[in-house]
Amino acid sequence: MRLLIFFCILSFFTFLSFVSPVPAAGLQSPSHQALADILNSQPTISLGMMTVGIDPDAVDKTLVSLYDENDMQPLWLENNQPGSRAHDLLRTLQHSDLDGLNPDDYKVAEILTLWHQNDETSRARLDVLLTLVLGRYVADMREGSADPCLLDPKLFAAARDQEVDILQVVNGALYTDNISAYLQNQAPAHFPYQGLRKELAHFRRLSRLGGWDTIPGGKTIKPNMSDPRLPLIVHRLKITGELQDSTTYFQRYEPVLVEAVKKFQRHFLLEPDGIIGKKTLTALNIPVDELVRKIILNMERWRWLPHRLDGKRIFVNIAGFRLFGATDEQMEITMPVIVGRVYHKTPVFTGSLRYVEVNPYWNVPDSIAVKEIVPSMQKDPNYLKNHSIRIFKGWAEDAPEIDPTNINWKIIGKKIKRYRLRQDPGPENSLGRIKFIFPNTNNIYLHVTPARQLFKRTIRSFSHGCIRVGKPLDLGVYVLKENKKPLDIDQLRKIIAGKKRKIILLDKR
């Protein structure tokens, strides 16, 4: 099973129209020399078509190979005019903003100008430019148009790890029966991305209609209170759909309006208490164009990750504090999660779920041992005993256990890393009763937490980076149900009650 961790979700739809070029008559086919001149001029750089993460010299060499294989004939012209594939490609580029991309990045204006030029050089330039923009567009759709590792190398180390083969891309486009469908299939297939695409169109439509007015600051508005700002709040909630359109005039902050505000608060990850305080008012006043920008950013983040995953998979929305289980784009399970605190951010990556560990040990990470365990032992010599944590003379499985009183906790400091601190299974175990393992370089996994009260909070960033799940037994049944010997909740509870550590491998990994 694949585990995919991502950032954000929204949803909705509209349509945008574009003008297709009218082909000019009497166009000249570019000569071999005209094409060769363009190909020898470092076209990736000279035509301004550099792609993030792809060496321009390598692209230029690929271009030469493509045209050599085609006997130095144009790839996109038919009867000396841009052919049907060229039209379909241009139409896709014109619509690229529907995926949060910028048509200017694909030289749409220059292509339209060259489209009507009748000289060999322009014909050659157009043909090579179309080939380059195809590669750039597909690379942007498959990997994203920005390199996230430049933002945070550790947090995004495993993101955008796909490679785009330009030769394969161009050949795929040239030899497919339907280039429009081919290009459309380059986008992430996941339902959250498709939801964002619809949401982008929806909020752009709201932007064209003028968005919404700013609601003035003032005192907190609680249920049954009257306030002169209520008409503005009602109008704002009607625009984005939290409040159904009606002619009702609210003289007071009535229950139907309170429920609409709660719905809005949930959308923005605010405490859904129905009280219109500073945070809720700030969210209500976010300009529509800023929401459009955030949707585009989240679509870009989706493109950093693998686009198609076979079979069952799990998505963890870090920013939304939710876990989703899906098969073939059908959501099957969802639950709240707790993710890393600001200074223990949960990385963005993918992994394959391998096994479930019931009644797990918790091997205390070095960072926690140094920063938390040592200071706690200095204050309370019984801290390890009270928390069922034992200490071993090394990390080998057969390392002997040692008495914590034999360690000078006042001076041990970072030298505690020499030892292995392990918390026994039990109700107070930091991993809870179940752990879900998908090997990764970040040492991140899904687990339970004894601090169940944290799930009642709307903003749930309390962990050291791992992901704490809100319904561990449901998740356990979900991931194990395709095993030859699936387990139900009662069987899992029985294993937990046995208090012995047990590893259950997934048949499909």
Ranges 209-218, 419-428, 459-468: which has the least confidence: 459-468
For 307, residues 6+ apart whose C-beta sits below 8 A from its C-beta are: 142, 186, 187, 188, 189, 190
Q: From residue 96, give the alpha-carbon distance in Å to each of 10, 11, 46, 104.
A: 19, 18, 23, 10
Q: At what angle do helices 166-175 and 120-143 cross, to 10 degrees?
A: 110
Confidence of residue 438 (pLDDT cuts 50, 70, 90): confident
Its CATH architecture, for the domain 312-361+427-505, is Beta Barrel (2.40)
pLDDT tens, position by position, 298-357: 899 888 877 766 678 888 877 777 888 888 767 788 888 887 554 345 456 677 889 999
CA distance 40 to 61: 10
What's the confidence (pLDDT) of residue 127? 92
| Residue 149 pLDDT greater than 70, yes or no | no
Residue environment code for 478-508, b if the CB has 16+ CB neighbours within 10 A, otherwise e: bbbeeeeeebeeeebeebbeeeeeeebebee
pLDDT tens, position by position, 473-509: 999 999 998 899 999 999 999 999 998 999 999 987 6
CA distance 241 to 492: 42
CATH 2.40.440.10 location in the chain: 312-361+427-505
What's the confidence (pLDDT) of residue 190? 80
Ranges 96-100, 287-291, 301-305, 413-417: which has the least confidence: 301-305
What's the confidence (pLDDT) of residue 301? 83
What percent of the chain stands above pLDDT 90? 47
What's the confidence (pLDDT) of residue 52? 64
What's the confidence (pLDDT) of residue 345? 52
CA distance 220 to 225: 10
Q: The whole model's pTM is what? A: 0.73
What's the confidence (pLDDT) of residue 79? 82
Its CATH architecture, for the domain 212-286, is Orthogonal Bundle (1.10)
Q: Which residue has the higher pLDDT, 190 or 225?
A: 225
Residue from 148, 135, 227 nearest 183 by CA: 135
pLDDT tens, position by position, 53-71: 677 888 888 888 888 888 8
Q: At what angle do helices 84-94 and 166-175 cross, to 10 degrees?
A: 120
CA distance 103 to 105: 5
Residue from 266, 274, 281 nearest 458 by CA: 266
pLDDT tens, position by position, 348-396: 667 788 999 999 988 898 989 999 999 999 999 999 999 999 999 988 8
SS3 2: strand
What's the confidence (pLDDT) of residue 310? 63
The pair of structure tokens assigned to 1 is 């099973």
Neighbours of 167 (CB within 10 A): 15
What would the mean pLDDT of 288-294 be, rounded to a whole number?
Answer: 95
Place of tokens 């039990």: 426
What percent of the chain stands above pLDDT 70? 82
CA distance 76 to 362: 60
The pair of structure tokens assigned to 451 is 């601090």
What's the confidence (pLDDT) of residue 6? 41
Contact status, residue 119 vs residue 219, Cβ threshold 8 Å = no
Instruction: Give one DSSP letter per residue of 438-476, joined into a string.
Output: ---TT---EE--S-GGGGGSSS-EEESSSEEES-HHHHH
CATH 1.10.101.10 location in the chain: 212-286
Confidence of residue 18 (pLDDT cuts 50, 70, 90): very low
Among the residues of 178-326, which ranges form H helices? Answer: 179-184, 191-208, 230-240, 255-267, 278-284, 288-303
What's the confidence (pLDDT) of residue 144? 82
pLDDT tens, position by position, 198-249: 999 999 999 999 999 999 999 999 999 999 999 999 999 999 999 987 667 7
Confidence of residue 151 (pLDDT cuts 50, 70, 90): low
**How open is the CA angle 221-227-229, to the nearest 5 degrees?**
95
What's the confidence (pLDDT) of residue 342? 41
Contact status, residue 286 vs residue 91, Cβ threshold 8 Å = no
